[in-house]
Amino acid sequence: MSAPEEQKNVLLLPQTNQLLGLYSIIRSKDTHRSDFVFYSDRIIRLLVERGLDQLPVEKHTVTTPLNVDYEGVGFLGKICGVSIVRAGESMEQGLRDCCRSVRIGKILIQRDEETALPKLFYEKLPEDIADRYVFLLDPMLATGGSAILATDVLISRGVKQERILFLNLLTSPEGIRNYHAKFPNIKIITGGIDDKLDDKKRLVPGLGDFGDRYYCI
Ligand code: PRP
C-alpha cells in the first residue's frame, strides 16, 4: 500500500525511531510476556492520545492563578470504549489512564482458526452509546471480519460512523480495504500497517497472536 498515511481516514502514528523501537520489541519472538505487555501498553497509550486528538472541542476560557484569562478549549461530547474481547481488553487500561471512569462496553467475537471467519458471542454496551464517541479497541485488524462484525453491532445501536474511532496496533492493507469498503467514514488509528496476510490470514511479518502473548505466554 503506497503512502498509507495519506489515505483518507487512516491515521498512522508517526513512524519515529521511538515507535519503531517499541514495535521491534513486541514483534520479536524472543520478547517475554512482561516486556510484551509493558511495551504494548506504551503503544496503546499513543493510540489513545491520537484518538483523543480527534475529538471536537469548543472555546473555553479559564482564569489562571495570576488572575489572567486564558482562552483555551474544552472537550465536547461524551466518549466510551468498546473492546472486542479478548485481545481488545488489553487496550482498556490505556483508555482509562487518559479518561478517568470512562464507560467500557464489550463485544465478544472470536475468529474461527480454521475458516478465519468471525463469530459474535456476546455484547454489552452502554445504554446511551448512540450519544457518545466510541473508541473501538482491538489490537489486530487482519481480514477485517471481526472489526466489521463489531462495527455492525455499534451501527445497529444507533452509533454514527463519524463518531467511531477504531484503534489498533497492527493492520493489513486488505483489512483496511475491507473495513473501509463498508465503513468509509470511520477513522482507523493504527501504529503499523503490515505487508500482507499469509494463507492462514495472519499478519506478516506480524507479531503472532496478540491475545496469547499479552495474556498467556
Ligand atoms: C484476533 C484479533 C482480532 C481478530 C483479527 O482475535 O484480536 O479480533 O483476530 O482478525 P480479523 O481481522 O481477520 O477478523 P481472535 O479471534 O484470535 O481472538 P482473541 O482476541 O481471543 O485473541
pLDDT in tens, 10-67: 999 999 999 999 999 999 999 999 999 999 999 999 999 999 999 999 999 999 999 9
pLDDT tens-digit readout, 53-62? 999 999 999 9
> What is the position in ligand 1's atom list of the atom closest to the CA of 111?
16
Q: How far is the CA of 73 from the centre of ligand 1 (A)?
A: 37
pLDDT tens, position by position, 136-148:
999 999 999 999 9
Domains along the sequence of the chain with CATH: 8-215 (3.40.50.2020)
If phi over 0 gives left and psi between -120 and 50 gives alpha, with beta otherwise, what is residue 9? left
**If you average pLDDT over residues 103-114, what whole number do you get?**
91
**Strands annotated E in 41-131:** 57-63, 69-75, 78-85, 103-111, 118-124
Amino acid at 78: K
**Residue 146 Cα to ligand 1 middle (Å):** 6
Residue 145, ligand 1, Cβ within 6 A: yes
User: Which ligand 1 atom lies nearest to the CA of residue 197?
Assistant: 13
pLDDT band at residue 115 using 50, 70 and 90 as cut-offs: confident
Catalytic residues: 111, 115, 209, 212
- Cβ count near 167 (within 10 Å): 27
Are 157 and 123 spatial neighbours (Cβ–Cβ below 8 Å)?
A: no
Ligand 1 lined by 80 (C-beta under 6 Å): no
Which alpha helices (DSSP H) does the chain contain, by range?
17-27, 33-53, 92-98, 145-156, 173-182, 210-215
Q: Looking at 6-10, 93-97, 190-194, which range is the least confident one?
A: 6-10
Distance 79 CA to ligand 1 centre (A): 24
Q: Is 10 helix (H, G, I), strand (E, B) or coil?
A: strand
Q: Helices (H) and strands (E) in the chain — how many of each?
A: 6, 13
Verify whether ligand 1 is closer than 6 Å to residue 138 (CB atom). yes
Alpha-helical (H) ranges within 30-110 are 33-53, 92-98
Average pLDDT in the chain: 94
Atom of ligand 1 nearest to the CA of 109: 16
